[in-house]
Amino acid sequence: MSWLKVEVETPDKPEIWSMADVLGIDADTVFGKVFRVWRWFDQHTEDGNATGVTFLLVDRVAGITGFAAAMEKVGWLGKTDQGLSLPNFNRHNGQTAKNRANTAVRVAKHKAVKATGNDKVTPQPLPTALPREREEKEVKEDMSGKPDIVASEVIEYLNAKAGTKFQPVKANLQLVKARLSEGASPEDCRAVIDAKVAAWRDDAKMAQYLRPDTLFNATKFAQYAGQICRDDAGGEWWKSAGFDRDWQATNAGCTAVTAYLWRDGKLIKEPV
């Protein structure tokens, strides 16, 4: 299972509050977005150095314009001659940090077993989870990469594009989160919204289907995304958009779902 090491005091660090002040958003949102950026670096780099990556990509990963600059201002992101890097990457990210953390857990468990080795085993069942364990479980679930805030942003995007007023209630959020858990990105969800708004908004009969239970239905979402990606060549969607590498496309703002809007590495059609 993939995971990241995050200190419990991170959400209240001065850097988080400083970024919140610069960006004009709340600290909890900043923490969630920072974690998303850390996750991207953990998945796409080995040492925290992202060659050829610019602030634009980081902003797109976070979903907020100016986020990369805010991270740089507090010292959590740096520019290099080749691209961008995360300072002190190996303290919390990468396999080295994870190995250290796992080793520490094993040592602690061994000491605990040794210290209580002569104690009698209680016949009563243990509680399902201690308060600390429940807290850690909740953090893991919230940091799974599919928090409610991401789904809420997708619902807000639908409202902004379609002129609707859907609320981020459980029924709507569950639909979006299910698609995210299947591998779709927030950008993919927005691309499907863009495509369907462009096709249905001015059609009195079809406009009623610009709603979460239609757009994010499992079968229909796959169909809509497949229609957008119909020019995908052997899974290498970036080539149909005119890019040599997938990261070049991502850096430019092109995704597998929006590749149909690109030719020769340039955006030829703006989403509605």
Residues 121 and 58 in one domain: yes
Q: Which of 83, 101, 130 is the last residue of a domain?
A: 130
Residues 96 and 157 in one domain: no
Q: Which amino acid is at 85?
A: S
Rounded Cα distance, 34 and 4, in Å: 12
Q: Is residue 272 part of a domain?
A: no
Number of domains in the chain: 2
Element (H, E) at 262: strand 262-263
Residues 63 and 162 in one domain: no
Residues 64 and 105 in one domain: yes
Residues 29 and 60 in one domain: yes
Split at pLDDT 50, 70, 90, the class of 118 is: low
Comparing 43 with 105, the larger pLDDT belongs to 43
pLDDT at 270: 58
Comparing 69 with 138, the larger pLDDT belongs to 69
Comparing 130 with 269, the larger pLDDT belongs to 269
Q: Looking at residues 161-186, what average pLDDT do you find?
A: 88
Residues 254 and 160 in one domain: yes
State which residues form the domain around 34: 1-130
Q: Is residue 104 part of a domain?
A: yes
Q: Is residue 34 part of a domain?
A: yes
Residues 261 and 156 in one domain: yes
Q: Is residue 76 part of a domain?
A: yes
Q: Is residue 136 part of a domain?
A: no
Q: Is the pLDDT of residue 144 over 70?
A: no
Split at pLDDT 50, 70, 90, the class of 43 is: confident
Q: Is residue 143 part of a domain?
A: no
Give pLDDT tens digits for 200-219: 988 888 999 999 999 999 88
Rounded Cα distance, 220 and 67, in Å: 33
Residues 178 and 245 in one domain: yes
pLDDT at 186: 87
Q: Which of 65, 95, 130 is the last residue of a domain?
A: 130
pLDDT at 125: 53
Q: Is residue 253 part of a domain?
A: yes
Give pLDDT tens digits for 62-108: 999 999 999 999 998 999 888 898 887 766 555 544 554 556 556 66
pLDDT at 259: 74
Q: Is the pLDDT of residue 14 over 80?
A: yes
Distances (CA, A) of 123 to 109, 118, 120, 127, 166: 21, 15, 9, 12, 51
Give me the percent of the chain exceeding a pLDDT of 90.
Answer: 21
Residue 114 tokens read as 């040794």
Contacts of 56 (CB under 8 A, 6+ apart): 68, 251, 252, 253
Residues 125 and 181 in one domain: no
Q: Is residue 140 part of a domain?
A: no
pLDDT at 70: 94
**Highest-confidence range of 112-116, 131-135, 212-216, by mean pLDDT?**
212-216
Q: For the chain, give the mean pLDDT.
A: 78
Cα dihedral: 35, 36, 40, 41 (round 10): -30
Q: Is the pLDDT of residue 142 over 70?
A: no
Residues 158 and 243 in one domain: yes
Rounded Cα distance, 118 and 113, in Å: 9
Paired strand residues for 79? 84
Residue 257: closest CA among 272, 238, 243: 238
Residues 115 and 153 in one domain: no
Q: Looking at residues 226-236, what average pLDDT do you find?
A: 58
Residues 159 and 119 in one domain: no
* Structure-token match 């949102």, residue found: 29
Comparing 46 with 157, the larger pLDDT belongs to 157
Phi and psi (nearest 5°) for 60? Answer: -70, -35
